[in-house]
Chain A
Amino acid sequence: MSQASIPAIRESDFSASARVDGAKVETTLTGNADLNVKSQLDGFLLSLHQHALGDSVSEVVVDVRNLEFINSSCLKAFVTWISSVQAQPINGQYRIVFLSSPRLHWQRRSLHALSCFANDLVSIQT
Chain B
Amino acid sequence: MKVFRSSADVLSLNMADEGLSLELTLDTDPRIVSITRRFVEQAMEKLVDDADAVFRVAMAAHELLENAAKYAENRQACLALRLEASSSGGRQAVLTMMNQTSLAHIERLRQNFAEMNTRDDPYDYYFELMRRNPSDISVSGLGLARIRAEGEMKLAFDTVGTQVFIRATAEIPERRPA
Instruction: Tell whether, in the assembled complex, residue B34 and residue A76 are in contact, meaning their CB atoms are under 8 Å apart.
Output: no
Interface string of A76-111 (1 = CB under 8 A from B): 110110111000000000000000000001101110
Interface string of B124-139 (1 = CB under 8 A from A): 0011001100111100
Instruction: Tell whether, in the assembled complex, residue B34 and residue A34 are in contact, meaning their CB atoms are under 8 Å apart.
Output: yes
In the complex, which of the residues A36, A42, A82, A109 contacts B150, with contact meaning CB atoms closer than 8 Å? A109
Instruction: Tell whether, in the assembled complex, residue B127 and residue A106 are in contact, meaning their CB atoms are under 8 Å apart.
Output: no
| A3 in contact (CB, < 8 A) | no
Instruction: Categorize the interface residue count of chain B.
Output: 20 to 34
Instruction: Tell whether, in the assembled complex, residue B127 and residue A117 are in contact, meaning their CB atoms are under 8 Å apart.
Output: yes
CA A76 – CA B55 in complex, angstroms? 19
| Shortest CB distance B45–A (Å) | 12
Instruction: Categorize the interface residue count of chain A.
Output: 20 to 34
CA A75 – CA B127 in complex, angstroms? 12
Instruction: Tell whether, in the assembled complex, residue B137 and residue A80 are in contact, meaning their CB atoms are under 8 Å apart.
Output: yes
On whether A79 and B134 interact (CB within 8 A), knowing A34-B30, A72-B142, A113-B127, the answer reads yes
Instruction: Tell whether, in the assembled complex, residue B127 and residue A72 are in contact, meaning their CB atoms are under 8 Å apart.
Output: no
Q: For chain A, what secondary structure do more than half of its interface residues adopt (helix, strand, loop), or is it mixed?
A: helix
| B62 in contact (CB, < 8 A) | yes
| B69 in contact (CB, < 8 A) | yes
On whether A73 and B149 interact (CB within 8 A), knowing A32-B34, A42-B137, A105-B52, the answer reads no
Which residue of B has the minimal Cβ distance to A82?
A: B134
| A23 in contact (CB, < 8 A) | no
CB contacts (< 8 Å) of A69 on chain B: these are: 34, 37, 59, 62
CB contacts (< 8 Å) of B88 on chain A: these are: none
On whether A71 and B126 interact (CB within 8 A), knowing A32-B34, A42-B137, A105-B55, the answer reads no
Instruction: Tell whether, in the assembled complex, residue B140 and residue A75 are in contact, meaning their CB atoms are under 8 Å apart.
Output: yes
| B51 in contact (CB, < 8 A) | yes
Instruction: Tell whether, in the assembled complex, residue B142 and residue A116 are in contact, meaning their CB atoms are under 8 Å apart.
Output: no
CB contacts (< 8 Å) of B142 on chain A: these are: 72-73, 75-76, 79
Which of B131, B141, B142 has most chain A Cβ within 10 Å?
A: B142
On whether A36 and B37 interact (CB within 8 A), knowing A79-B134, A113-B126, the answer reads no
Within 8 A of B (CB), among A1-57: 13, 32, 34-36, 42
Instruction: Tell whether, in the assembled complex, residue A72 and residue B146 are in contact, meaning their CB atoms are under 8 Å apart.
Output: yes
Instruction: Tell whether, in the assembled complex, residue A34 and residue B62 are in contact, meaning their CB atoms are under 8 Å apart.
Output: yes
Query: Could you list some 27 contacts between A and B, CB below 8 A?
Result: A32-B34, A34-B34, A34-B62, A35-B30, A35-B69, A35-B70, A36-B31, A36-B34, A69-B59, A71-B33, A71-B63, A71-B143, A72-B63, A73-B143, A76-B137, A76-B140, A79-B142, A80-B137, A82-B134, A83-B134, A84-B135, A105-B51, A105-B54, A113-B126, A113-B127, A116-B123, A116-B127
List the 7 closest pairs (A to B, CB-CB), nearest first: A105-B55, A83-B134, A76-B140, A72-B142, A109-B150, A73-B140, A72-B143
